[in-house]
Amino acid sequence: MEKEPVRIGIFGGSFNPIHIGHLALANYLCEFGYVDEVWFLISPQNPFKQDKKLLDDRLRLELAQAAVAGYPRFRASDFEFRLPRPSYTVNTLRQLTAVYPDKEFYLIIGADNWSAFDRWKSAQEILDNYSILIYPRQGHEIKGHTLPPHVKAVDSPLIDISSTFIRESLANGKDMRYFLHPEVYRIIKERHLY
Query: Which residue ranges make up each domain of the chain?
Result: 6-162
Taking residue 47's Cβ as centre, other Cβ atoms within 10 Å add up to 13
- Return the bridge partners of 77, or none: 41
* pTM: predicted TM-score of the whole model, two decimal places: 0.94
pLDDT tens-digit map of 8-59: 999 999 999 999 999 999 999 999 999 999 999 999 865 566 656 789 999 9
Yes or no: domain 6-162 corresponds to CATH 3.40.50.620: yes
Strand partners, 190: none
Q: How far apart are CA 93 and CA 180, in angstroms?
A: 28
Burial of residue 104 (number of CB atoms within 10 Å: 0-12, 13-18, 19+): middle
